[in-house]
Chains A and B, each alone.
Chain A
Amino acid sequence: MRRGAICVLLSRAAAAMHLAQLTLTNFRNYTRLDLALPKGPTLLFGANAQGKTTLLEAIYYLATTKSPHARADRQLLNWYANGSEDPVAVGRLTAQVRLAGETGQRHLEIRLIRDQTGRAGSEFRRQVLVNGVKVRLVDLLGNLNVVLFLPQDVGLVSAPPAERRRYLDITLCQVDTRYCRTLSQYNKVLAQRNALLRSLQEGRARPAELSPWDEKLAELGASLVLRRAALIADLEQRAGRIHFDDLTGGTESLRLAYRPRLWPNADQAPSSLPPAATADTVGWLLEQPENQLAASLRRALDGSRQVETQRGATLIGPHRDDLRLLVNGRDLADYGSRGQQRTALLALKLAEVAWMEGQTGERPVLLLDEVLAELDQTRRAYLLSSVVAAEQAILTASDPTMFTGEFLAQATRMEVKGGQIRPRNGPVQRGTRDEEEV
């Protein structure tokens, strides 16, 4: 959001981006994989437990440095490599990202290292390289933009708030490294402040010691809240349109209600805020200058100091935010059918695709894991039209027959079996797409 004009121009010029080559070494069930991926849609099919999802997970990991399942990183290492007697086990993921124009290429690499030679016993670490140069984890972000669709995404609607915060954070971090840094600083301040609150609780510290942490927490917190609000405003607009016009035939309207924890509880919200906080919290927030929001967060922290000391934890701030999804004014988590939740999530994900393109000037690579099986004909057709329009999309399915013949004709098909991938039927009739590029 605060990128300089030059950055924007550069990324605009590089609007076409795709993952051309993926290699995996000792990544989960793949001991070795070297896979060339074309532009346009690629369909990976095969029986269950053959490694289809793992392939999407690997691509997602290269883009975000996170696993979609929040599982421990060391589990990503191949089981045999992890269990081997070797003192050092290394897993490696590399991606060749090709940009528009013949010269544009990025080489991304993540190394997963389990090292037993150190004094601390078994130690796990990661190394990240961009174009062969070791960089920090955060520097990998933004080199490959992806949006992942998982069948379990629908659970996000009714999951605990932490899951939705994680969704907002991962989405923002991919395109905004400043957000990512602010978030990591915020978490450090939060840990320090909570430690101090526990000391206060036990009478081992003085209240005056809180002030530097309060100040930092408020400053960083306000910045996070405003960026989340901007993201939610944008997603709501796009998702609302897709949901109303294209997915529900003009019958249902989707709203995203941001519930920032900027004050101790709802009745202590600023009076200038619209009464039903669901209505337009985001609009209100976006009118607040960042330093004023920080000041009000600071005052809220002052006001709840006593409770926080009793509880030994920070109760106010973006680490307690929530995001609710409403359809026709009703909270989907409480009142939505499974089908409504699925439709809302689909709209949200497609909005994310458009948002990401707007932010970076690059079309993200779509990764879709078995999502078609859950959708009815109309929504399936709508999703597939987005997939075909993407620069590159990688889909998995155990049953390729659920795709239309028209779609299959455009897709590159590959079969996944026991950690091996073989092209089937090769690329068919893709000439027209490539000519469009010129």
Chain B
Amino acid sequence: MPFHAAPQPVTRLIEELSRLPGIGPKTASRLTYHLLRAADEQALGLADALRQLRERTQFCRVCFNITEGQPCAVCSDPGREQALICVVESPLDVLAVEKTRAYSGQYHVLHGAISPIEGVGPDDLKIDRLLDRVRSGGVQEVILATNPTLEGEATAMYLQKQLAGFPVLVSRLARGLPVGGDLEYADEVTLARALEGRSQM
């Protein structure tokens, strides 16, 4: 039986889309055929958005967050506290902390966590630039907000050692129970950590 494949531009887009995280070949095909039928402005708008994403964004030269201008909106905001730096693994973590509206200090994005198995060492992260920032003065507290994973913990411990020589307060995000959660459904490790980190009322 003769087998007719889809035209090359179609298969190419399917391939490109299925490389994205969370998208399998089925979804990629569905998206591709949706875009084929969609109005020009929608499909080309997507292409344009992709192009702009690459062309108009860069890392902030101070905190290494994703930004359009230099330095980024946070770093150039005079209303934010200058003496406080929150260290996170990824730009998504900045968004998460910003959403809380409970933090008005600076950020520093490491772009990863230490993981020797994957060949990621301190030199592959923006650690030296963080130390530069602390060295240049004006910083009173560094909040280590890396993930509570093994790699995130190791990164925090490494940073703590590196920052020990500076006259800054180094703190770590508290670990404990999610708000609105039921005590009985918390896993033992979380609950044990919450007990250890209990605070006086």
Beta-carbon contact of A216 and B150 below 8 Å: yes
Q: Which A residues are in CB contact (< 8 Å) with B114?
A: 209, 212
- Closest residue of B by beta carbon distance from A196: B116
CA–CA, A209 and B154, complex, Å: 9
Q: How many residues of A contact B (CB 8 A)?
A: 23
Q: Which B residues are in CB contact (< 8 Å) with A195?
A: 116-117
With A181-B189, A199-B121, A211-B161 known as contacts, the answer to whether A205 contacts B150 (CB < 8 A) is: no
Does chain A have a CB within 8 A of B33? no
Q: Which A residues are in CB contact (< 8 Å) with B25?
A: 119
Beta-carbon contact of B158 and A209 below 8 Å: yes
Q: Chain A, 210-237, contact with B by CB distance < 8 Å: what is the 0/1 string? A: 0111011000000000000000000000
Q: Which B residues are in CB contact (< 8 Å) with A204?
A: 121
Beta-carbon contact of A191 and B153 below 8 Å: no
| A-B pairs with beta carbons under 8 A, tally | 54
Q: How large is the interface on B (under 10, 10 to 19, 20 to 34, 35 or more residues)?
A: 20 to 34
> Binding site of A, secondary structure by majority: helix, strand, loop or mixed?
helix
Cβ distance A195 to chain B, nearest Cβ, rounded Å: 4
Does chain A have a CB within 8 A of B176? no
Beta-carbon contact of B154 and A212 below 8 Å: yes
Q: Which B residues are in CB contact (< 8 Å) with A209?
A: 114, 116, 121-122, 158
Beta-carbon contact of B116 and A188 below 8 Å: no
Beta-carbon contact of B154 and A178 below 8 Å: no
With A178-B188, A192-B150 known as contacts, the answer to whether A211 contacts B121 (CB < 8 A) is: no
Does chain B have a CB within 8 A of A28? no
CA–CA, A196 and B119, complex, Å: 8
Does chain A have a CB within 8 A of B140? no
Q: Which A residues are in CB contact (< 8 Å) with B119?
A: 199
CA–CA, A121 and B3, complex, Å: 23
Does chain B have a CB within 8 A of A116? no
Partner of B116, one of A181, A185, A205: A205
Q: Which A residues are in CB contact (< 8 Å) with B24?
A: 119
With A181-B189, A185-B150, A192-B150 known as contacts, the answer to whether A212 contacts B157 (CB < 8 A) is: yes
Cβ distance B14 to chain A, nearest Cβ, rounded Å: 13
CA–CA, A199 and B122, complex, Å: 13
The residues of A with any CB-CB pair to B shorter than 8 Å are 119, 177-178, 181, 185, 188-189, 191-193, 195-196, 199, 204-206, 208-209, 211-213, 215-216
Q: Which 10 A-B pairs have the closest CB atoms?
A: A212-B157, A195-B116, A196-B116, A212-B154, A195-B117, A212-B158, A192-B116, A205-B121, A188-B150, A192-B117
